[in-house]
């Protein structure tokens, strides 16, 4: 049975919630800030974990602001709209440092740099759910639809399409835009009439984004304001003979590497992305060799020289097999672009064990108003 308790929020944790303690047990509470004192309804979630729902604030943080989105607190897309943006960045730095310490046993005392830009209307790709004439996102922690007519973190072009999606169909739709065209991808089986109606709102084939062809199923960075700055951060002052770009996607990093290295090997396993990669290489006449393989398979067979390996893995991270091969190949410099701090911490722990040292950590805030953290880590091989 739920009980009412007075809780003091100690810190934010990865996932967007605040952490408090009750008789030694952890209580996770959404939409709070460190230092706040709340009266909350608390209920056991697991044997050693409780969750709280705020009923009243006794003490509010000075960094708390009024969320501009009318759907905030219902929509599950954002977790931080109640936090001043400068404080969001400070909290993400603290969360990242905490995850590195807890998960990877990494005591990083150095600076965590921050790269940030406009915190609203930044997303060039969103996924929406349609049900009985309504369109929106799922509510926090559920599959209940939160109907919307606009999204403050989506780009203007996407917001112009959202009201037109109110169709009598149950489906999930992905929209991707370069602000001129909107690419429409229906992810479910729907009646032909509904499919045609949705697809009439945009294009179903590849679109060009920042000079790259991007097909429906190909990954591309979602923050339209930070792509160039993220590239500058990841490449820094790197140059040399051979660079390997793991999880290369459509060639975003590989194209920039090609201006600094004599040879670039771009490794990608997804068929759609590989086709886009080959097209993008061909149109630019770049010294890039595409390899349609998994990172694990490619590295396991690699025996040549390399000056830099850059990896932009999925949320699951590099994994122990890739880390093992990186240890064997021993490139003098590694760069990891990570979208999950927990798997990043695990991978870094393995690389540090393999005598790599961390040179620089930078938080690139690709996802303002949310708990998500993108991190660029530069490492070098110890002598």
User: Given this model, what pLDDT does residue 242 score?
Assistant: 98
User: Given this model, what pLDDT does residue 355 score?
Assistant: 95
Q: For residue 135, give both structure tokens.
A: 């369109």
User: Given this model, what pLDDT does residue 283 score?
Assistant: 87
SS3 call for 136:
strand
Q: Which residue has the tokens 């990669």?
A: 277
- Report which DSSP code applies to 139: B
Question: Pairing mode, if any, of strands 333-338 and 308-311?
Answer: parallel
Residue 249 CB contacts under 8 Å (≥ 6 apart), including other chains: 218, 219, 220, 268, 270, 273, 276, 277, 312
Q: For residue 161, give both structure tokens.
A: 């399409």
What is the number of residues in the chain? 383
User: Given this model, what pLDDT does residue 190 score?
Assistant: 84
Q: What is the mean pLDDT of each run of 10 residues along the chain (383 residues)?
A: 94 97 94 98 87 96 98 96 98 98 97 98 96 90 92 98 81 95 91 86 94 95 98 97 98 97 98 96 91 98 97 97 97 98 98 97 98 98 87
User: Given this model, what pLDDT does residue 359 score?
Assistant: 97
Residue 363: half-sphere exposure toward Cβ, Cα within 13 Å: 25
User: Given this model, what pLDDT does residue 344 score?
Assistant: 98
User: Given this model, what pLDDT does residue 313 score?
Assistant: 98
Cα–Cα–Cα angle for 63, 67, 73, rounded to 5 degrees: 110
SS3 call for 35:
coil
Q: Which residues pair with 28 in a beta bridge?
A: 19, 51
**Domains detected in the chain:** 3-62 (2.40.50.140), 89-118+221-381 (3.40.50.150), 125-214 (2.40.50.1070)
């Amino acid at each position: 049975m739920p009980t009412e308790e007075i809780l003091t929020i100690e810190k934010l944790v990865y996932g967007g919630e605040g952490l408090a303690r009750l008789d030694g047990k952890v209580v996770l509470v959404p939409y709070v800030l460190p230092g706040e004192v709340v009266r909350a309804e608390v209920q056991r979630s697991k044997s050693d974990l409780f969750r709280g729902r705020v009923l009243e604030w006794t003490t509010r943080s000075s960094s708390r602001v009024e969320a501009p989105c009318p759907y905030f607190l219902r929509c599950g897309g954002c977790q931080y709209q109640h936090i001043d943006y400068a404080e969001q960045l400070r909290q993400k730095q603290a969360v990242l440092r905490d995850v590195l310490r807890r998960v990877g046993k990494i005591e990083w005392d150095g600076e965590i740099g921050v790269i940030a830009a406009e915190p609203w209307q930044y997303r060039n790709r969103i996924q929406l759910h349609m049900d009985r004439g309504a369109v929106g996102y799922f509510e926090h922690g559920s599959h209940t639809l939160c109907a919307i007519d606009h999204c403050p973190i989506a780009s203007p072009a996407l917001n112009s399409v959202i009201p037109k999606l109110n169709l009598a169909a149950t489906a999930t739709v992905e929209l991707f835009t370069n602000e001129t065209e909107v690419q429409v991808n229906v992810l479910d089986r729907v009646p032909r009439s509904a499919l045609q109606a949705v697809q009439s709102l945009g294009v179903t084939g590849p679109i060009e984004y920042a000079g790259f062809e991007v097909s429906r199923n190909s990954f591309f960075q979602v923050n339209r304001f930070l792509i160039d700055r993220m590239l500058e951060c990841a490449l820094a002052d790197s140059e040399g003979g051979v660079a390997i770009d793991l999880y290369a996607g459509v060639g975003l990093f590989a194209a920039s590497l090609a201006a600094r290295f004599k040879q670039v090997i771009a490794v990608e396993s997804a068929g759609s992305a590989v086709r886009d990669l080959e097209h993008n290489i061909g149109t630019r006449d770049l010294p890039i060799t595409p390899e349609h393989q998994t990172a694990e398979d490619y590295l396991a067979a690699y025996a040549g020289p390399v000056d830099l390996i850059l990896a932009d893995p999925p949320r699951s991270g590099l994994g122990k097999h890739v880390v093992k091969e990186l240890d064997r190949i021993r490139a003098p410099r590694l760069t990891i672009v990570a979208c999950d701090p927990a798997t990043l911490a695990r991978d870094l722990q393995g690389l540090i064990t393999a005598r790599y040292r961390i040179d620089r950590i930078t938080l690139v805030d690709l996802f303002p108003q949310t708990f998500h953290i993108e991190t660029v880590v530069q490492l070098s091989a110890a002598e």
